[in-house]
Amino acid sequence: MRVGRWVEIVIARLLAPVVLRAVMLALMLASPLGLVSSVARAQEPRGDVLRWGADPSGGAPFAFFDPDNPDRVIGFEVDIMAEVARRLGRTPELFRADWLALYDALEAGRCDVLMNGFEVTDERAVVARFSVPYFRFGQQIVVRRADAGRVRSLADLAGKRVSVLNGSQSVDVLKDAGFADELILQYDDSLAPYTEVALGRADAALAESIIAAYYAAHDERLALVPETFAPGQYAAVTRKADDTLGADIDRVLGEMKSDGTLGEILQRWGLWDDAQRGVGTAKGRPQEVIAAARGSAGDSAAATESIAPAIFRGAWMTVLLTVTAMPLATAAGLFLALARMSPRTWMRRAAITYITLVRGTPLLVQIFLVYFSLPPLGQWLYAAAPAFVQPLLDPLGGAAFLTLPALVVGALCLAANYAAYEAEVHRAGLEAVPAVQWDAARALGLTRAQAIRHVIAPQGVRIAMPAIINDLNSLIKDSCLVSVIGVTDLLGVCLGIGKARFSVPEMLVIAAAVYLVLSVAGDLFGNWLERRLRARGFTTTLSHGKGAHP
């Protein structure tokens, strides 16, 4: 099963590759044009719901899937936000997205505030507004158990390879301590730095104490170096323009610190230490009282059968994405293929441009870009629309009419991407229809469009069907990429449970097995469809009584 951990690292790196940062950069570059952020900033928070952003796949103890009930997200930040919202008279609603995408989600108005281990840094304070801190941490080293006595500080790691979480403050701490770039191994996945130490590919992991302590405690191969250093602080993040909410959160967090509520939440999660007094947090009731009230929340061994419904829902999400995206892709691909074969030059060029662009860029990037460009684009379109159009859009959400749910955006992106591939499949099918079929249609007096619709396309689609079924099979697995915008599909659910229970390899095997079942089901459907087409012919729109009178 250890090989599985390695597989998980590969997958984690596939899911959040370097390219995402290029997307962020592109979005930031778009900001001066006013396309992405300036319009988004104008959007006011919605009513009495407080939407707060976090990435549950980031792991414990911040906000993570409950090992006993993978449908639920728990964590000390969940508890803090619940209390903040309660004191503001609002209902907390978790907005889920990949950690790297959270800031853009905030700027795009998809959520009102972020609370997910965001360290206060000068760089970030330029673009976003930090609240008063709610947690103080230090940097802490994790080593293999055998090295436990030998490493006491960073100085003992000179010349060694140290693994860190990509984009975390630990990277800067290592650089300041004089570590060369090639000795700093950065991972996008929160679990990967520790796995790498356990496997011997890194000599130590450096992380914020809260994370380091949690992971070191859950892997018997690892040990925590007691000393902490280079202190930092976590704070909630709001939009700079949204000063009212920022001030409200500051006030409420201040109250929670002084009356002991925040201290109690930290105690309940075993995160209390005296350093917290440094940011003004008072200790709450005695630890034992809180621990008794906490019950069995920390017991991750129980209730194996309770993961089945979550996996089923994840699989259902994957099926839903596939059965909506594939028919759309097949239909759109046919139109693209016909446009590509059109006698009109501009149509051919438009189709070729679309196919080249879509096939030439990663699906992951497309999903990201579309998801975060749609809301500001919608606001811009709404603002630019003539006065009589706006009332028509109001029932659809007004300026937010393009702020579509992640599932819808995910399905549309998959469809748009696969359409480019289906276009080429359809083109091969259409070109394989014998020339005599064109002649026969024209000899009967059909126009080019009528011939395509009633004679050529139905036969071309039938010829292309095996290749289309092949792509259906591929789409079932590619659909997991939508997890970056927070859709909890099969892989997302399984990785979430795996990280929460420290059983990632086992959960990946389960995920693979369910994907295999879905894939075989897809193939059986394809075989049935092909048999049906072969046996009964492919009845055109004519038999449905449509389109007979052009």
Interaction between residue 444 and another protein (CB under 8 A)? yes
Residue 482-521 contact track with another protein, rule CB under 8 A, x = bound: ----------------------------------------
- Work out how close the CB of 344 gets to another protein at its nearest, in angstroms, rounded to a whole number: 20
- Work out how close the CB of 241 gets to another protein at its nearest, in angstroms, rounded to a whole number: 59
Q: Which residue, 41 or 454, has its beta carbon nearer to another protein?
A: 454
Can you give the three-state secondary structure of 323-391, one letter per residue?
Answer: HHHHHHHHHHHHHHHHHHCCCCHHHHHHHHHHHHHHHHCCHHHHHHHHHHHHHHHHHHHHHHCCCCCHH
Interaction between residue 450 and another protein (CB under 8 A)? yes
- Work out how close the CB of 548 gets to another protein at its nearest, in angstroms, rounded to a whole number: 4
Q: Which residue, 31 or 437, has its beta carbon nearer to another protein?
A: 437
Specify the long-range contacts of residues 270-278, CB closer than 8 Å, at least 24 apart.
Answer: 270/61, 271/61, 271/76, 271/135, 271/210, 275/136, 275/137, 275/138, 275/228, 275/231, 276/135, 276/136, 278/136, 278/231
Of 306, 437, 470, 474, the residue at the interface with another protein (CB under 8 A) is 437
Q: Which residue, 89 or 445, has its beta carbon nearer to another protein?
A: 445
The torsion angle over the Cα atoms of residues 447, 450, 454 and 459, rounded to 10 degrees, is: 70
Interaction between residue 299 and another protein (CB under 8 A)? no
Strands 128-144 and 204-208: antiparallel
Interaction between residue 537 and another protein (CB under 8 A)? yes
Q: Which residue, 217 or 440, has its beta carbon nearer to another protein?
A: 440
Interaction between residue 530 and another protein (CB under 8 A)? no
- Work out how close the CB of 544 gets to another protein at its nearest, in angstroms, rounded to a whole number: 11
Q: Point out which span in 142-150, 311-319, 431-439, 487-495 binds another protein (CB under 8 A).
A: 431-439
How far apart CA 515 and CA 105 sit, in angstroms, is 30
> Token pair for residue 71?
């449908």
The β-bridge partners of 65 are 73
Can you give the three-state secondary structure of 58-124, one letter per residue?
Answer: HCCCCCEEECCEEEEEECHHHHHHHHHHHHCCCEEEEEECCHHHHHHHHHCCCCCEECCCCECCHHH
Interaction between residue 125 and another protein (CB under 8 A)? no
Residues in the interface with another protein (CB under 8 A) total 28
Q: Which residue, 240 or 454, has its beta carbon nearer to another protein?
A: 454
From the list 80, 525, 23, 49, the residue with the least C-alpha distance to 245 is 49
Q: Which residue, 343 or 391, has its beta carbon nearer to another protein?
A: 343
Angle, to 10 degrees, between the axis of helix 406-431 and the axis of helix 307-340? 40
Q: Which residue, 251 or 454, has its beta carbon nearer to another protein?
A: 454
How far apart CA 409 and CA 485 sit, in angstroms, is 9
Interaction between residue 146 and another protein (CB under 8 A)? no
- Work out how close the CB of 399 gets to another protein at its nearest, in angstroms, rounded to a whole number: 45
Q: Do residues 439 and 519 touch, judged by C-beta distance below 8 A?
A: no
How far apart CA 105 and CA 102 sit, in angstroms, is 5
Contacts of 283 (CB under 8 A, 6+ apart): 260, 263, 267, 272, 276, 277
> Token pair for residue 347?
């149509």
Q: CA Rg, the chain, in Å?
A: 27
Interaction between residue 442 and another protein (CB under 8 A)? yes
The β-bridge partners of 49 are 91
Interaction between residue 529 and another protein (CB under 8 A)? no
From the list 244, 210, 237, 243, the residue with the least C-alpha distance to 224 is 210
Q: What Å distances lie between residue 120 and 83, 126, 132, 235, 255, CA to CA?
A: 22, 11, 10, 6, 20
- Work out how close the CB of 450 gets to another protein at its nearest, in angstroms, rounded to a whole number: 5
Q: Which residue, 159 or 545, has its beta carbon nearer to another protein?
A: 545
- Work out how close the CB of 452 gets to another protein at its nearest, in angstroms, rounded to a whole number: 12
DSSP assignment letter at 151: -
Interaction between residue 538 and another protein (CB under 8 A)? yes
Interaction between residue 445 and another protein (CB under 8 A)? yes
Interaction between residue 141 and another protein (CB under 8 A)? no
DSSP assignment letter at 178: T
Of 227, 454, 502, 530, the residue at the interface with another protein (CB under 8 A) is 454
How far apart CA 242 and CA 283 sit, in angstroms, is 31
Interaction between residue 536 and another protein (CB under 8 A)? yes
Q: Which residue, 339 or 456, has its beta carbon nearer to another protein?
A: 456
Of 233, 373, 459, 473, the residue at the interface with another protein (CB under 8 A) is 459
Q: Which residue, 14 or 432, has its beta carbon nearer to another protein?
A: 432
Interaction between residue 343 and another protein (CB under 8 A)? no
Interaction between residue 286 and another protein (CB under 8 A)? no
The torsion angle over the Cα atoms of residues 87, 89, 91 and 92, rounded to 10 degrees, is: -30
Of 259, 334, 458, 486, the residue at the interface with another protein (CB under 8 A) is 458
Of 176, 243, 394, 439, the residue at the interface with another protein (CB under 8 A) is 439
Interaction between residue 455 and another protein (CB under 8 A)? yes
Interaction between residue 259 and another protein (CB under 8 A)? no
Residue 156-185 contact track with another protein, rule CB under 8 A, x = bound: ------------------------------
Q: Which residue, 502 or 538, has its beta carbon nearer to another protein?
A: 538
Q: Which residues bind another protein (CB under 8 A)?
A: 436-437, 439-446, 450, 454-455, 458-459, 462, 536-540, 542-543, 545, 547-550
